[in-house]
Amino acid sequence: MTIGIPKALFYWKEPFSTGAHIGHFWEIFFESLGVEVILSPETNKEIVERGVKVSDPEFCFATKVFLGHILWLEGKVDYIFVPRLKTNEEKLEYCPKFFGLPDLAKILVKTPILTETFDMREGKIETSLEKLGKKLDKNAIKIEKAINNAFLKEKGSKKKQEQDFLKKIKSDKQRIVLISHPYNLYDDYVNVGIKKKLEKLGAEVIFIDEVPVKRQETRARSQKLDYPEFHWEFGKEIMEKIEEILKYTFSGAIEISSFLCGCDAVLKEFVEKAFKGNKIPFLYLIIDENTADAGLQTRLEAFMDTIQ
Amino acid sequence: MKITFPYWGNYTIAFKALFKKLGLSIVPPEKTNPRAIENGAKISPEMYCLPLKINIGNYLSAIKRGADTIFMVTSLGGSCRLRYYGAIQEKVLSDAGYDVNFIVFDQTPKDIYKKIKEVSGASFWQIIKAAWFFYEKLRLIEKLEKKANYLRPRERIKGETDKILMQAFLNLDKINTKKELAEFKEGISQKISEIKIDKNKDVPKVGLIGEIFTVSDGAVNFGIEEKLGREGVEVHREMDITYHLKKRVFPWKDWWIQKKINHYLGSTVGGHGRDAIYEMLEYVKKDFDGVIQLLPFGCMPETTVRPILQKIHLKSGIPFLSLSLDEQVAEAGINTRIEAFVDVVKNYYQKKYEKLSGH
């Protein structure tokens, strides 16, 4: 049996995956169960074009890309895996689009969709993973092993990320913080290779999700930054990480949004306020299928000029 | 303290009555108009959904007329952006240099009661009485709107229903006592019964579904119900404040809806996304001749379910039109689309009719 996993949206989300270079929670989980996994490739022009073509025009760009990945997997695998992510372990909600992803995939392709709901208001992650394993006719012991395997790897990657962060924040280069959802940060095609572009301009790029925030600290909400109590996991996470990064010195911050991302319409207001309020140069970029390489380059150059 | 609040179609009448009954001094919001929308959009976050921008436009005109406090209700339980309306609107106005007080209500009776009590100083009974008066007006408004949807395609003198309705809402706005309200109810039902209609006329039926604010405010949706009615189409709409309140009081309604739509969507997607699917399926079942979805451009729940609505449309053959509204949409464009859609609806209805009568 083969399972296809689209390399988009949920693929990059915590706690299931912590970044492009690390993570791989889902692959490890399914492979440990003895299932062959086929990942869709890195986002490319064809995937984006196909996704845009079949998507509702008012979907956010990230969802359009996701549907492109689903189309790529169609016919190549026995099942396409699309979990229904509802709330995380802090009982905070994912973007409401995530609630409907399995259904949106289902009406698009003939390949059956393998799904399971992850709602931690209702039960633990492990319970959902067990149910998922049982759908594949695996026995309880094997499932438990697979869960442990996947989590173990994830823990390891988290540690490495923290060490990397401490190195980067001490770098002599212009330190630039990139703020966005992981599916924008780690997908180089979607973000038009922004990391490489900035590095070429002499910057040390720090992704906001690399900033370590300790769980205990996050419990007590600090009042230094003024923002609403988010019911969105990414809202709380990003704001807390911004609060943390503001303890260090860096040269500027860039926020990237998928065109028509409804959540970012809310979040951006407070992200921008946090940086501008602390007199840190801030650039806001909206990306979609029409974002031109040259246009972005010019804006980044201008931004780097202003902070030097 | 001079209080203002967002304009919301004919419901504004009921909200005005509520605040007056509580003894609050209010600056009523001006009816939403293109200028207000433009002004609101100018200072609102560009990517935010239309109702937020409209609200801001309403506030701006009320602030000019002396309002210093804003009442806003957000949906605490929902998963959509409405949740942050209070926070964002407060920020937008403060960034634009307006010094106003925001009182944000969660959609829980306890929170509403507590804050109302604090602001108005009214007694328990006064609040209960005001709330009841509010609800009576609100119910009447909804009933009149529904009745009009039945009458318009059947009236003999074109435009008579709307003429009577408009006058009725103006009068209803002035009513301050229960006694007057009872008299008004009697008077209006008399007037409505005098409207000459073709009782036996069979007309095509269209279901209006979508986001609650856009479907229920004629000033936002360019009077879509009137337009369809004048074209000879009977409009049905489930989505109104009573529907929403009922669902909050009886939460198992959501469970029931989920059960019915499980094949299409396995979960809530925020807002009234599930309801749109459920309503469309019901209209298909009831053999309607068309479904129109109205939504603010980019509305998260409504856009998520749109491909599913389209799927139902393709499977059942029922004509379907989805209209996204934002500050740039012009009435002329909407008119063209509605007219074209009415043609499709009438065609569909005609064919069905022919099939039934064996032609």
Shared fold status for A2-155 and A171-307: yes
Look at A99 and B308 and tell me if their CB atoms are within 8 Å: no
- With 90 as the cut, is the pLDDT of residue A18 above it? no
pLDDT above 70 covers a percentage of chain A that reads 93
Is A97 near chain B, with CB under 8 Å? Answer: yes
Per-residue confidence at A221, pLDDT binned at 50, 70, 90?
low
Look at B79 and A231 and tell me if their CB atoms are within 8 Å: yes
pLDDT above 70 covers a percentage of chain B that reads 99
**Length of chain A counted residue by residue:** 308
Write down the pLDDT at residue B152.
97
Q: What is the pLDDT of residues A96-121, one digit of tens each?
A: 999 999 999 999 999 999 999 999 99
Q: Which candidate from A107, A265, A266 shows the least CB-CB separation from B308? A: A107
Domain layout of chain A by residue ranges: 2-155, 171-307
Q: Do residues A82 and A70 make contact, with C-beta atoms less than 8 angstroms apart?
A: yes
Instruction: Report domain A171-307's class.
Output: alpha beta
Helix locations, chain B, DSSP H: 11-21, 34-43, 50-64, 85-95, 109-120, 124-151, 160-174, 178-193, 212-216, 224-230, 241-249, 252-261, 273-285, 300-316, 331-357
- With 70 as the cut, is the pLDDT of residue B146 above it? yes
Q: Which candidate from A107, A231, A261 shows the least CB-CB separation from B83? A: A231
A184 alpha carbon, distance to own chain's centre: 6
Is A272 near chain B, with CB under 8 Å? Answer: no
Q: What is the pLDDT of residues B185-230, one digit of tens each?
A: 999 999 999 999 998 889 999 999 999 999 999 999 999 999 999 9
Q: Tokens for A261? A: 């991302």
Question: If you search the block for the tokens 């396409």, which residue do you land on?
Answer: A80
How many CB pairs (< 8 A) connect A and B?
A: 90
Q: What is the pLDDT of residues A243-288, one digit of tens each?
A: 999 999 999 999 999 999 999 999 999 999 999 999 999 999 999 9
Per-residue confidence at A20, pLDDT binned at 50, 70, 90?
very low
Q: Which candidate from B87, B268, B298 shows the least CB-CB separation from A99? A: B268
Look at B49 and A265 and tell me if their CB atoms are within 8 Å: yes
Look at A97 and B267 and tell me if their CB atoms are within 8 Å: no
Q: How many CB atoms lie within 10 A of CB B70?
A: 25
- With 50 as the cut, is the pLDDT of residue A19 above it? no
Q: Do residues A179 and A242 make contact, with C-beta atoms less than 8 angstroms apart?
A: yes
Q: Which candidate from B88, B269, B299 shows the least CB-CB separation from A266? A: B88
- With 50 as the cut, is the pLDDT of residue A21 above it? no
Query: Is-cis flag, bond preceding A182, omega within 30?
Result: no
Residues of chain B contacting A273 with CB distance shorter than 8 Å: 91
Q: Tokens for A140? A: 């309880």
Write down the pLDDT at residue A15.
59
Rounded Cα gap, residues B186 and B33, in angstroms: 32
Residues of chain A by 3-state class (helix, strand, coil), percent to 5: 50, 15, 35
**For A25-45, what is the mean pLDDT?**
94
Rounded Cα gap, residues B231 and B239, in angstroms: 22
Q: Which candidate from A58, A96, A286 shows the least CB-CB separation from B79? A: A96
**For A180-184, what is the mean pLDDT?**
94
| Model pTM score | 0.94
DSSP result, B173-241: HH--SHHHHHHHHHHHHHHHHTS-B-TT----EEEEEE-HHHHH-TTTTTSHHHHHHHTT-EEEE--SH
Q: What is the pLDDT of residues B74-132, one digit of tens each?
A: 875 677 899 999 999 999 999 999 999 999 888 788 888 888 888 888 899 999 999 99
Q: Which of A266, A272, A284 is the best mutation test for B, with the most CBs of B within 10 A?
A: A266
Q: Which candidate from A86, A97, A268 shows the least CB-CB separation from B45? A: A268
- With 80 as the cut, is the pLDDT of residue A6 above it? yes
The chain A residue lying nearest B265, using CA atoms, is A103
Look at A96 and B298 and tell me if their CB atoms are within 8 Å: no
Rounded Cα gap, residues B156 and B195, in angstroms: 8
Instruction: Report domain A2-155's class.
Output: alpha beta
Residues of chain B that touch chain A, judged by Cβ-Cβ distance less than 8 Å: 45, 47-49, 79-81, 83-84, 87-88, 91, 264-270, 273, 297-301, 303-308, 311, 324
The complex's ipTM works out to 0.92
Helix locations, A55-193, DSSP H: 61-73, 96-106, 125-135, 140-169, 182-185
Q: Tokens for A30? A: 């399914």
Strand partners, B218: none
- With 80 as the cut, is the pLDDT of residue B308 above it? yes
Per-residue confidence at B354, pLDDT binned at 50, 70, 90?
confident
Q: Do residues B321 and B280 make contact, with C-beta atoms less than 8 angstroms apart?
A: no
Tell me which of A181-185, A290-294, B158-162 is least confident. Answer: A290-294
Three-class SS state of A186: coil
Nearest to A10 by CA among A55, A63, A50: A63
Mean pLDDT across chain A, nearest whole number?
Answer: 90
Q: What is the pLDDT of residues B15-56, one digit of tens each?
A: 999 999 999 999 999 999 999 999 999 999 999 999 999 999
- With 90 as the cut, is the pLDDT of residue A17 above it? no
CA A84 vs CA A97, A102, B52: distances in Å: 10, 6, 29
> What's the burial of B129, exposed, middle or buried (CB within 10 Å: 0-12/13-18/19+)?
middle
**For A60-86, what is the mean pLDDT?**
97
Name the phi and psi angles at B293, rounded to 5: -105, 130
The CA R_g of chain A, rounded to the nearest whole Å, is 19
> What's the burial of A184, exposed, middle or buried (CB within 10 Å: 0-12/13-18/19+)?
buried
* DSSP code of residue B155: B
Contacts of B138 (CB under 8 A, 6+ apart): B11, B14, B241, B242
Rounded Cα gap, residues A181 and A145, in angstroms: 30
The chain A residue lying nearest B306, using CA atoms, is A56
Rounded to the nearest angstrom, the minimum Cα separation between B92 and chain A is 9
Look at B48 and A115 and tell me if their CB atoms are within 8 Å: no
